[in-house]
Structure 1
Amino acid sequence: MTTEQKNDKGCPEGGMKNRPGDRMMPAVSFTSFILSLNTTALFHLGEIPHPETGQKVFDLELARHAIDTLAMLEEKTKGNLDSEEQDLISRVVYELKMRFIKAKRE
């Protein structure tokens, strides 16, 4: 066993390491995918600033695309999700649609 392997403490639960020195990423799951699309929609609705510039982006077309993608996934996965996953996607789609309507009015 190398020194590097001895010093490697592993990744926290739900994470994985690509290569030594790279950041740890969460495990791929339905929940992480839905939350990623949610973040994308919020970013394009101007609710989350760009991580590097701090500026807010407002692009209703891209926000609508992310929301429509989530709505399509909700429809296509009906009956195939556990109750927590179904609740998550339903809440995310509803909340994003309400935020989109509000953003469109402003």
Structure 2
Amino acid sequence: MSHGIQDHDMCFRALSGAIINPNRTEAAMTDPDTPKIIVDDDWKSSAKAEKEKLAAAEKEKSQQGAAQGGFPEKMGFKELISLFATQALMYLGAIPDQSGRAMVSLEIAKLNIDLLAVVQEKTKGNLSDEEQEMLDGTLNELRMQFVEVAKAVEQAAADGTLQHMQDPGVAGSINPGGGFGADLKL
């Protein structure tokens, strides 16, 4: 048993005499006959790099899922704004329906724009600068597009080139007179 204690004491003395240079990854020993002790200071940076690599791969995977028609794993404020904006654009005729035709329903477009305005009002002072700019910019663009489309619909009605939806079976269509006002195909 005393032999193990002596080995422990020699090891302790060798280690207590080591001088660690923070700029190097090895410890210099005071006794030149004692082998150098290598201290692995780089493990933290290796672990951090690996963690960042995994996070980037996970983010790319999430974005690919969203691009392939799936939903992103994490839904946030930007996705909420995008949801209302997409619906408004669809009913402003900017996004064609499944038949490839532009569908215009000013009342439903206005409803989605108004819902974004409610989000703007209720989140005032609680958004990051980036989120606030996104919301303000989106609302401004949608409002300008609404005015342009409303003028175009008015002009098409005056010219007689407006076509009311007659097929309530078309995916995404709203039955005219169903409480949301006239639904139009341009």
Q: Does 1:32 align with 2:72?
A: no
What is the number of equivalent residue pairs in this alignment?
93
Greater RCO structure (CA 8 Å; 6+ sep): 1
Q: Following the alignment from structure 1 to structure 2, what is the Cα–Cα distance between the partners of residues 104 and 64?
A: 11
Q: Does 1:13 align with 2:13?
A: no
Structure 2's unaligned 5+ residue stretches are 1-57, 153-186
Deviation at residue 32 of structure 1 after TM alignment: 0.6
Q: With structure 2 as the length reference, what TM-score do the two structures score?
A: 0.45
Contact 1:15–1:25 at 8 Å: present in 2 too? no
When Rg is computed on C-alpha atoms for both structures, the one with the higher figure is 2
Structure 1's unaligned 5+ residue stretches are 1-9, 17-22
Q: With structure 1 as the length reference, what TM-score do the two structures score?
A: 0.77
Q: Following the alignment from structure 1 to structure 2, what is the Cα–Cα distance between the partners of residues 84 and 15?
A: 23
Deviation at residue 54 of structure 1 after TM alignment: 1.5
Select the residue among 114, 118, 123 that pairs with 1:77. Answer: 123
Segments of 4+ in structure 1 off by > 2 A?
A: 13-16
Q: Does 1:92 align with 2:92?
A: no
Deviation at residue 13 of structure 1 after TM alignment: 3.4
1:101 corresponds to: 147
Contact 1:44–1:57 at 8 Å: present in 2 too? yes
- Secondary structure, in 3 states, of the residue corresponding to 2:61? coil
Identity of aligned residues (%): 36
Q: Following the alignment from structure 1 to structure 2, what is the Cα–Cα distance between the partners of residues 54 and 61?
A: 21
CA shift digits 1:40-60 (9 cap, x unpaired): 00000001112x322211000
Q: Which amino acid aligns with 2:62?
A: E
Contact 1:34–1:70 at 8 Å: present in 2 too? yes
Q: Following the alignment from structure 1 to structure 2, what is the Cα–Cα distance between the partners of residues 79 and 93?
A: 17
Q: Following the alignment from structure 2 to structure 1, what is the Cα–Cα distance between the partners of residues 70 and 91?
A: 26
